[in-house]
């Protein structure tokens, strides 16, 4: 069964450094998403992306965050200057349409020191 893959599985970064989290969505999916989950808390929406542009973003997704689909297969989340509170699991998801269930990757655990 096709799946969403994320790399790396764990990223440790010094505060203030830039970090790029990578995702390969399911190949025939058109909608892409990033979510985060702080330890012990709910999964929170960050951003959705369709047709090479952001379609919606939450208040968490401030100017420090950006997304990109640099080629036909990858979807990346960049945090420009990481803060301690950015430590969380980051999940990528994709769906065929916006109204269809989203399929999630297994996440990247981001630890900011």
User: Does 25 participate in binding other proteins (rule CB under 8 A)?
Assistant: no
User: Does 101 participate in binding other proteins (rule CB under 8 A)?
Assistant: yes
Neighbour tally for 91: CB within 10 Å: 23
Query: Among 11, 44, 60, 64, which residue interacts with other proteins (rule: CB under 8 A)?
Result: 44
Q: How far apart are CA 70 and CA 78, in angstroms?
A: 12
Query: Among 13, 22, 30, 58, which residue interacts with other proteins (rule: CB under 8 A)?
Result: 58
User: Does 33 participate in binding other proteins (rule CB under 8 A)?
Assistant: yes
Rank residues 15 and 54 by Cβ distance to other proteins and give the closer one. Answer: 54
Segment interacting with other proteins (CB under 8 A) among 12-20, 64-72, 79-87, 102-110: 102-110
Q: How far apart are CA 4 and CA 107, in angstroms?
A: 9
Tell me if 111 sits within 8 A of 87, measured CB to CB. Answer: yes
User: Does 61 participate in binding other proteins (rule CB under 8 A)?
Assistant: no
Q: How far is CA 42 from CA 45, 59, 99, 100, 102, in A?
A: 10, 15, 21, 21, 16
Segment interacting with other proteins (CB under 8 A) among 13-21, 41-49, 65-73, 76-84: 41-49
How many residues of this chain bind other proteins (CB under 8 A)? Answer: 23
| Three-state secondary-structure class, residue 86 | helix
């Amino acid at each position: 069964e096709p799946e969403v893959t994320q790399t790396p599985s764990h990223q440790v970064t010094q505060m203030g450094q830039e970090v790029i989290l990578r995702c390969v969505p399911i190949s025939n999916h058109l909608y892409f998403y990033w979510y985060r989950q702080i330890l012990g808390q709910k999964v929170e929406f960050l951003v959705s992306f369709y047709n090479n542009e952001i379609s919606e973003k939450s208040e968490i997704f401030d100017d420090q965050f950006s997304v990109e689909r640099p080629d036909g297969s990858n979807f990346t989340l960049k945090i420009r200057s990481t803060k301690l509170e950015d430590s969380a699991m980051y999940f990528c998801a994709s769906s065929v349409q916006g109204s269809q269930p989203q399929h999630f990757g297994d996440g990247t655990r981001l630890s900011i020191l």
